[in-house]
């Protein structure tokens, strides 16, 4: 009954000849349940819609439109669908879509294709196109990155993306001895950097190579400061990847 | 890649590109951006300790006024000078194509590639290699089975993982349940390049000499009120008994009612034996959707592959609590507020020589106005304080749409941020003008000019200027079969928030 009323309303709206915004609409929540109703029957849909209506949004699985008639010059369709975000995407959905997208990606796939994700979550993004980040984010990314509000490394390669750019700006420490100079607000930063490093290790590796740290933290050097913190499970890591141990230890600990 | 090879690759793309156009149905998008920028970075320098003198502020500095850092008993002191001015003109083209209707029902082919270079000849970040293949796969769906093969990227709570291989999904109960798996030769995390690529090694660090093998499997369910996914993913270095990663994750969302939902998830690092990130969010809609409330608790822990040493340095996790409120106070007026407090776990490395905080907070309030014809306005104020860094930002934007095809956005921002563990205290103004013009169906032209004016407050000669102007121009061309070449999702993504509803 509701569908019939909606179709009649759409026809009346179209007959009134208004713009798309003035056309009679389905019920506010119809978008969320139109799929199940269309699966029952598309006869009512075909009164106003053609395949183009479906393909406006269903770009990843355009075959869902096959049950409707194609648009022709004689029958362009009474309803002209304009793709737009549904109500559920209002109110900053872009900032909080991650969990829902991970939990039910098939929901997204109804309207989105993988290249949609890539336009923002572009691996190693380099075009500078505003997308996930707001405009001017480059100028203010240090504070956001350092505070670890979001994880830069979930989308960016800390070596290929962060360190490459920092190298161009002269910020990286590669190839130097660790005499400081950059972290100049604290005179003894190098001597007491442990807490800052453990809390913001992702920021450290955006400028520092492994060998920077190994100058003091390797078991084979002269200083041999132990880098392992609370909860470090040496036995487990040795079992899973003994090669990592050999970066600092001459032999795998426990197998000398 | 040399410029000649790059041009050859572009030529090859232009030859291969038109081939799908003859297929029954296709969608092709070319997205090109050109940027011109002039900037100066930092240049590391050193000076004999005997040549430095005490500064009025109590530290040491060079004869020409640069504050220096002198290690105990070191012969030399070190500091940073302004680097030479650098001009760069990077250009990037992202090409994506989807083709279906190839005579086999359910078969489609997808390609996403990017070409980069710097026309000014500088070593612009991420411009090498010149041609990068992000995705190239064929997908086949028939009933409850979907098969995909080629270069793929899978996104999950565990991040982006790319590989050359295949994926399989079975849906034995229709949409309600899916079993899936994928695997192949892996790419570096968040990159279209293999982990062995020298382009991912700007610091000359040690690299694995072989790519890793990726294998994953999971289950996904879709019930009207309860949806979720569980995933197991493992990466092993091929030809060696070395685990790169082994993790599991779970995601779920529970719709208790149309107004109340609970969303959450987490991951566990099997290889290291520790919990990773986790979060749970309660969303509440009230007053017919005019009021949106969210409360979140989350846990954050950085993740590193086991082919690096960083996991052995015991990175610390933090726990956070967040609340947000969004109110549609009047038609066309949206107000939002957000606040979060966080605190790191005990790192076990506190040192009085460089004391640091363990906790912090961040907050933001914003307003969007879309009440006026063809105009919308957005303003945001953010403030945050955390270990080693803080920021205070106010930004505003006005968007004007004189015609359906043209968007003009003017924005400006002021940022104050003491740099992390640095002597600098920076006040930064930024401003921009962006034009987005749909010249014809499927053809968009984009122009963007952005300026940054910086006031770097420090009492020595190191207060270099970072003022700069960046100019961007872009063209997006979208071609598709049939008559539906109207604008699609990527455009929506780039719309300023608060744009007048259509």
Count of A–B CB contacts within 8 Å?
456
Distances (CA, A) of A193 to A183, A186, A226, A231, B57: 10, 10, 13, 20, 23
| Beta bridge partner(s), residue B282 | B262, B295
A241–B200 CB contact, under 8 Å: no
Q: Where are the alpha helices (DSSP H) in B43-179?
A: none
Whether the complex's predicted ipTM is more than 0.85 is answered with no
- Please state the rounded mean pLDDT for residues A102-120: 69
| Chain B residues within an 8 Å CB radius of A25 | none
pLDDT tens readout for residues A141-162: 887 787 777 778 877 888 888 8
Check if B196 contacts A (Cβ < 8 Å).
no
> Is the Cα dihedral B20, B23, B29, B32 positive or negative?
positive
Check if A62 contacts B (Cβ < 8 Å).
yes
Distance from CA of B469 to the nearest CA of A (A): 11
Q: Which of A99, A213, A242, A243 to mutate to test the interface with B (most CBs of B within 10 A)?
A: A99
| Mean confidence (pLDDT) of chain A | 72
A181–B127 CB contact, under 8 Å: no
Counting Cα atoms < 13 Å in the Cβ hemisphere of B367 gives 9
Whether the CB-CB separation of B278 and B313 falls below 8 Å is answered with no
Which residue has 């015991």 as its token pair? B314
Q: Which of residues 27-66 of B touch A (CB under 8 A)?
A: 27, 29, 31, 33, 35, 39, 41-44, 46, 59
pLDDT at residue A190 above 60?
Answer: yes
pLDDT at residue B496 above 90?
Answer: no
Q: Which of A20, A52, A108, A147 to mutate to test the interface with B (most CBs of B within 10 A)?
A: A147
pLDDT at residue B468 above 90?
Answer: no
Residue A174 — very low, low, confident or very high, per pLDDT cuts 50/70/90?
low
pLDDT at residue A63 above 60?
Answer: yes
Check if B371 contacts A (Cβ < 8 Å).
no
| Chain B residues within an 8 Å CB radius of A248 | 309, 312
pLDDT at B3: 53
Q: Hey, is A171 helix, strand or coil? A: coil
pLDDT at B420: 64
Q: Which two tokens stand for residue B158?
A: 């565990």
Q: Which of residues 230-249 of B touch A (CB under 8 A)?
A: 240-244, 246, 249
Whether the CB-CB separation of B167 and B181 falls below 8 Å is answered with yes
Check if A228 contacts B (Cβ < 8 Å).
yes
Whether the CB-CB separation of A157 and B189 falls below 8 Å is answered with yes
| Mean confidence (pLDDT) of chain B | 83
Of A142, A160, A191, the CB nearest to B419: A142
- Please state the rounded mean pLDDT for residues A43-62: 78
Residue B295 — very low, low, confident or very high, per pLDDT cuts 50/70/90?
very high
A139–B415 CB contact, under 8 Å: yes
Which residue has 């200083």 as its token pair? A223
pLDDT tens readout for residues B198-245: 888 888 888 888 899 999 999 998 887 888 899 999 999 887 788 999
| Chain B residues within an 8 Å CB radius of A175 | 204
Nearest-by-CA chain A residue for B137: A114
Check if A229 contacts B (Cβ < 8 Å).
yes
Neighbours of B135 (CB within 10 A): 19
Give the percent of chain B with pLDDT over 90: 32
pLDDT tens readout for residues B28-74: 888 898 999 887 777 888 899 899 988 776 778 888 888 887 777 77
Residue A119 — very low, low, confident or very high, per pLDDT cuts 50/70/90?
low
- Please state the rounded mean pLDDT for residues B315-326: 93
Neighbours of A80 (CB within 10 A): 17
Which residue has 């407090």 as its token pair? B341
pLDDT at residue B92 above 80?
Answer: yes
Closest by alpha carbon to B270, among B299, B311, B315, B213? B311
Q: Which two tokens stand for residue B283?
A: 């969303």
| Beta bridge partner(s), residue B216 | B182, B233
Residue B488 — very low, low, confident or very high, per pLDDT cuts 50/70/90?
very low
Least-confidence region, from A66-70, A105-109, B46-50: A105-109
Q: Which helix (H) or strand (E) segment is B489 a member of?
A: helix B489-494
Least-confidence region, from A13-22, A180-189, B116-125: A13-22
């Amino acid at each position: 009954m509701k569908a019939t009323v909606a179709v009649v309303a759409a026809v009346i709206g179209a007959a009134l000849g208004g713009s798309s915004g003035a056309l009679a609409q389905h019920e506010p929540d119809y978008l969320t349940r139109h799929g199940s109703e269309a699966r029952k029957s598309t006869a009512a849909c075909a009164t106003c819609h053609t395949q183009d209506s479906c393909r406006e949004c269903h770009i990843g699985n355009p075959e869902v439109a096959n049950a409707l008639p194609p648009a022709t010059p004689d029958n362009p369709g009474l309803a002209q669908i304009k793709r737009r975000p549904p109500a559920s995407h209002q109110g900053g959905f872009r900032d909080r879509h991650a969990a829902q997208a991970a939990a039910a990606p098939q929901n997204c796939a109804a309207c989105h294709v993988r290249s949609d994700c890539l336009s923002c979550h572009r691996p190693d993004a380099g075009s500078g196109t505003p997308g996930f980040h707001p405009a001017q984010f480059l100028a203010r990314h240090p504070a956001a990155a350092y505070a670890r509000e979001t994880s830069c490394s979930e989308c960016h390669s800390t070596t290929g993306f962060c360190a490459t750019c920092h190298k161009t700006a002269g910020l990286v420490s590669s190839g130097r001895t660790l005499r400081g100079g950059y972290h100049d607000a604290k005179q003894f930063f190098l001597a007491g950097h442990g807490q800052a490093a453990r809390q913001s290790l992702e920021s450290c590796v955006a400028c520092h190579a492994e060998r920077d740290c190994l100058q003091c933290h390797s078991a084979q050097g002269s200083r041999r400061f132990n880098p392992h913190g609370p909860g470090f499970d040496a036995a487990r890591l040795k079992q899973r990847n003994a090669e990592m141990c050999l970066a600092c230890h001459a032999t795998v600990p426990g197998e000398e | 890649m040399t410029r000649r090879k790059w041009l050859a690759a572009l030529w090859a793309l232009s030859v291969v590109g038109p081939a799908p156009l003859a297929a029954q149905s296709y969608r092709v998008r070319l997205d090109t951006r050109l940027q011109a920028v002039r900037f100066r970075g930092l240049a590391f320098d050193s000076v004999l300790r005997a040549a430095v003198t005490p500064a009025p502020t109590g530290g040491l500095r060079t004869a020409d006024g640069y504050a220096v850092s002198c290690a105990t008993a070191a012969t030399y002191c070190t500091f940073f000078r302004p680097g030479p001015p650098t001009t760069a003109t990077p250009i990037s083209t992202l090409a994506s194509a989807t083709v279906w209707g190839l005579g086999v029902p359910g078969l489609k082919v997808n390609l996403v590639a990017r070409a980069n270079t710097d026309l000014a000849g500088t070593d612009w970040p991420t411009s090498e290699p010149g041609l990068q293949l992000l995705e190239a796969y064929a997908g086949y769906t028939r009933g409850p089975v979907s098969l995909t093969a080629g270069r793929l990227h899978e996104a999950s709570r565990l991040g982006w993982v790319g590989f050359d291989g295949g994926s399989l999904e079975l849906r034995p109960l229709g949409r309600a349940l899916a079993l899936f798996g994928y695997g192949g030769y892996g790419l570096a995390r968040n990159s279209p390049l293999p982990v062995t690529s020298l382009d991912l090694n700007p610091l000359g660090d040690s690299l694995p000499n072989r790519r890793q093998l990726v294998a994953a499997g999971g289950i996904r369910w879709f019930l009207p009120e309860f949806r979720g996914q569980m995933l197991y993913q493992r990466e092993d270095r091929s030809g060696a008994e070395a685990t790169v990663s082994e993790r599991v994750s779970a995601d779920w969302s529970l719709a208790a009612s149309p107004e109340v939902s609970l969303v959450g998830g987490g991951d566990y690092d099997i290889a290291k034996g520790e919990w990773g990130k986790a979060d749970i969010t309660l969303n509440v809609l009230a007053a017919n959707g005019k009021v949106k409330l969210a409360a979140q608790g989350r846990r954050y822990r950085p993740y590193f592959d086991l082919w690096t040493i960083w996991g052995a340095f015991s990175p610390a996790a933090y726990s956070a609590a967040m609340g947000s409120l969004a109110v549609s106070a009047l038609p066309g007026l949206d107000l939002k507020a957000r606040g979060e407090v966080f605190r790191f776990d005990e790192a076990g490395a506190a040192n009085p020589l460089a004391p640091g905080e363990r906790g912090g907070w961040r907050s933001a309030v914003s307003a969007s106005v879309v009440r006026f014809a063809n105009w919308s306005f957005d303003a945001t104020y953010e403030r945050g304080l955390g270990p080693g860094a803080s920021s205070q930002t106010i930004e505003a934007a006005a968007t004007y749409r004189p015609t359906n095809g043209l968007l003009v956005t003017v924005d400006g921002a002021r940022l104050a941020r003491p740099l992390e563990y640095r002597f600098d205290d920076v006040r930064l103004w930024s401003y921009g003008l962006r034009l987005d013009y749909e010249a014809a169906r499927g053809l968009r032209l984009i122009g963007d000019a952005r300026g940054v004016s910086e006031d770097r407050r420090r009492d020595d000669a190191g207060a270099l200027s970072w003022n700069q102007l960046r100019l961007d121009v872009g063209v997006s061309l979208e071609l598709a079969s049939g008559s539906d070449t109207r604008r699609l999702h990527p455009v929506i993504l780039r719309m300023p928030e608060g744009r007048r509803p259509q």
